[in-house]
Amino acid sequence: MKYYITTPIYYVNDSPHIGHAYTTIAADVLARWRRLCGHEVFFLTGTDEHGAKICQAAEKATKSPKEFCDIICGQFQAAWKALNITNDYFVRTTDEYHIVAVQKVMQKLFENGAISKGKYEGLYCVHCEKFLAGGDLVDGCCPDHKQKPTPHSEENYFFKLPMYQEKLLAILSDENHPQHIRILPKERRNEILGKLKLGLEDISISRANLPWGVPLPFDKTQTAYVWVDALINYISAIGYGEESPKFKKLWPADAHLMAKDILWFHAIIWPAMLMAAELPLPKKVFAHGFFTINGDKMSKTLGNVISPAQMVEKYGVDGARYLMLSLFPFGSDGNISWEGLNEKFNTDLANNLGNLVSRTLTMIEKYFGGKIPKPTTPFCALNPHKTIIIEDFNNYLDNLQFHLAFDAIQRHINNANQYIETSAPWKMAKENNPELATVLWNLISMIKTSAICLLPVMPQTCNKIWQMVGETHDIEKESNAFFTQGILASPVPGTEIKKANPLFPRILAAQ
């Protein structure tokens, strides 16, 4: 029941922005949910610290490359701590164990005849750290950075990618293939297969005269191409190269998460490298879309970056985490605005979830002395839905459909709020209707189910809700007990509730 999930490692030429946070929060939600389901989870993230771009950024900052990397790496680690990310390990490509692993992979590829020396001439984008074909350009410029690539020629080592074309086609297209890699969403898979069928060319996997990198073990005048170096982090971090039991236990990865602009590296180059190194292939690769502002990808180069700290300052940690994953489908691009974020915050969190918890606890305090009542009938009207909701939520998360998962829970919460309106507990109290106890017991059950499902994305809030409804045990530490022992959302009559301040105060338009 192991579950190994990764983010890409983030390039340290830039401080963390919400594009980085988007991927990392998604991975954290999946990791937390899998832990709740009883899986043994290993969640990896980290920083990519080699390459020409780092040298340039360090020089501009009047720092050595390592000093510069240490500073920016610290910013990423601080950002993930502030966002309550529960990664099990943080890999850095400047760490010695990673360098050893890179050299072992490169030596293996060389010995297996997958590498040869040659000369490459082409257009090179320094910001992307990659060569671009003519068809990749828009008006002669890199589509992401809006700058013209420069002609570049050098002698280096090439990976014989065409050797693996037919194997890749079979592995990616045949769902029954024993090494099948599931690429999501489907439209990205179709794009990859379409491009793959056009044919592959040898690709450069080393650079000459670039000291800030990992030297090739068979030619010290060359360093590993930064993208090759970076991809190997997924195995170096779990002990490849050290004969580690952890590597044998965790590899292959269950899910690689990344933005769509680096899907080719993960869906084609990385599997081909693994085949050449005689290693198992990852099970799932998911490429999400971009946050856009005015139709442009968010990037430091374009000067339109929003930081995670800005989101947290305005919406709180849990609010920021929820908004990033609920606004639009994870696999699609989405244009964001502060107005749209405010509206989503007020609708889903302040009006729906926060209001449900506040109204329910207030009525229990008023009508039952602050203790959960015992239902008067054995059948509770809303209770049968909890199993269906958990199953739907789990299925949506398995396909990384975060917006659908959260929409399902919001409908569940909305149903509970509508249940209050239709049952009118205040009228039942005036009439001394014994069914009032059943109604409020049902509402607590609905709240507990919502808290379990939303806990991976809003852990602080849901643990607070858990305490408010009188629970004393730790949801996350007790893991799948909630699923296997049937205590998921069954309130215990007589449990004392604890009222608190509103969970999510509404954001005014002027804010």
List active site positions: 17, 20, 125, 128, 142, 145, 297, 300
With b for 16 or more beta-carbon neighbours within 10 A and e for fewer, the 443-457 pattern comes to: bbbbbbbbbbbbbbb
203-204/150-159 β-pairing? antiparallel
Say if residue 384 is preceded by a cis peptide, omega within 30 of 0.
no
Contact 154, 118 (CB under 8 A): no
Taking the C-alpha atoms of residue 271 and residue 182, their distance in angstroms, rounded to an integer, is 12
C-alpha 26/C-alpha 216 separation (Å) is 35
Give every CB contact of residue 88 below 8 A, 6+ residues apart in sequence: 41, 42, 43, 44
CA nearest to 234, candidates 93, 35, 75: 93
DSSP 253-265: PSEEEEEGGGHHI
How many angstroms separate the CA atoms of 73 and 256, rounded?
A: 21
Tokens representing 189?
């898979």
Classify residue 134 by its DSSP letter: G
User: β-strand 40-48 against 89-92: which pairing, if any?
Assistant: parallel
What backbone torsions phi and psi does residue 263 show, to the nearest 5 degrees?
A: -65, -40
For tokens 């005048």, name the residue: 221
d(CA 15, CA 307): 8
- For 424, other C-beta atoms within 10 Å of its C-beta total 14
CB-based contacts of 117, cutoff 8 Å, min separation 6: 155, 156, 157, 158, 219
Do 440 and 363 touch, CB atoms closer than 8 A?
yes
